[in-house]
Amino acid sequence: MEKWAENDYLLLTPGPLSTSPTVRRAMDRDWCTWDDEYNAGVVTPVREKLVQLATASRPDHYTCVLMQGSGTFSVEAMVGSTIPRDGKLLVLANGTYGQRLAQIADRLEIRHVVHDSGELDPPDLGRLDQALREDEAVTHVVLVHNETTTGMMNPLEEIASIVKGHDRLLLVDSMSAFGGVPMDIAEMGIDYMVSSANKCIQGVPGFGFVVARISHLEQTEGWSRSLSLDLYDQWQAMEQGNGKWRFTSPTHVVRAFYQALIELEEEGGVAARHTRYRENQRRLVQGMQRLGFRCVLPPEYQSPIITGFYNPPHAEYDFMKFYSLLKDKGFVIYPGKVTGIDSFRIGTIGHVFPEDVDRLLVALEQSMYWNGKQHAS
């Protein structure tokens, strides 16, 4: 299979990411949103497959709700629909996307407290345990699974154990990990998990989804702070309409995602994809260190999804010039997001393979103009 036909470059980002030609070609047909061929034949299987990916142990305890928009729309739907008016949310933050969770809670006027551990450290588990023991008003805890500000993989199992030990509800933004990192949300006691079409399942942007514990979702009628992002109402519409969305469905995107799920199965499932991502990231770090670049995070915190690197300490270095040289050679990287640290990031997910990383490393070395190593593409 061609790896990146029709594109001038690979997207080495945490999503939108490089997709397969067959995923893109799946969007070539129009669909009727009222027709069973689409709702029962595409939407319903997508929902079922996502639940099965989220939990092999207790799929009957969960359902999946698809939601139009970017991943943040689904995050806001989860936060804004699952916390009662007298509830209180504890936000674990260690990057841009953890802070976005706090912004959502603030904008929706949800009582909340933020535990910010800084961008270079995981959440403080002792502080979390103490807070849940001392503050009985906290009803829900939310965190980002893989914080792509740095590429940090937060210790989800340990956090879940603490939260469930205190009998609180756990909401997880697994935007950039689900589908690429093995997990079973039922075994961890996760109540709600959100992700997006254009991340590790390798679809295209246009919708996100929430995998929800049915026994709790059933209680949330009327809780949403939004009409269009009402998780309960969206769930009821899909259940009663056999996959029908309340508002216009992103049909082409959903069909492409259906194809992406087929290709995930063909690759060998999440475990096989995780192995490929890890090998991509291993080769990247090994090669970057050989070229003199330093990782922002220590290896014990690092995910296989995206890796941050310090900018070279050279007066001549300019990220946009470096970016443009790499793009001319067929690779797009990401600027850094860490406060106070000059850095850039390279993703290792999507339709990207170890041999692509090897080609990237050659292009990187040829683009190091500050060392006099610039070569034509």
Cα three-residue angle 112-134-186, rounded to 5 degrees: 70
Overall average pLDDT of the 31-43 stretch: 94
- Give 286's contacts (C-beta < 8 A, 6+ positions apart): none
- Please give the order of strands across the beta sheet that includes 334-335: 306-310, 343-347, 334-335
Q: For residue 325, what pLDDT band results from cuts at 50, 70 and 90?
A: very high
Beta strand residue intervals within 164-248, DSSP E: 169-173, 192-196, 207-213
pLDDT for the residue numbered 270: 98
Within the chain, all domains assigned CATH 3.40.640.10 are found at 22-266
Q: How many CB atoms lie within 10 A of CB 14?
A: 25
> CA 146, CA 308: separation in Å to the nearest integer?
13
In the DSSP assignment, the letter for residue 40 is I
Comparing C-alpha atoms, which of 103, 146, 142 is closest to residue 122?
146
pLDDT for the residue numbered 199: 97
Q: State which fold the 10-17+268-371 domain adopts.
A: Aspartate Aminotransferase, domain 1 (3.90.1150)
Q: Which two tokens stand for residue 198?
A: 């254009």
- What percentage of the chain has pLDDT greater than the value 90? 93
pLDDT for the residue numbered 373: 61
Overall average pLDDT of the 44-65 stretch: 98
pLDDT for the residue numbered 4: 43
The residues pairing with 141 across neighbouring beta strands, listed in sequence order, are 90, 170
Instruction: Answer yes or no: are the C-beta atoms of 244 and 237 closer than 8 Å.
Output: yes
> CA 216, CA 139: separation in Å to the nearest integer?
13
Could you identify the residue written with the tokens 């299979």? 1
- What percentage of the chain has pLDDT greater than the value 70? 97
Whether the predicted pLDDT of 95 surpasses 60 = yes
Instruction: Answer yes or no: are the C-beta atoms of 309 and 295 closer than 8 Å.
Output: yes
Q: Which two tokens stand for residue 58?
A: 């207790």
pLDDT digits 0-9 by tens, 177-192: 999 999 999 999 999 9
C-alpha 62 chain-centroid distance:
20
Q: For residue 337, what pLDDT band results from cuts at 50, 70 and 90?
A: confident
Tell me which CATH code domain 22-266 carries.
3.40.640.10
> CA 251, CA 72: separation in Å to the nearest integer?
19
Entry pTM: 0.95
pLDDT for the residue numbered 340: 86
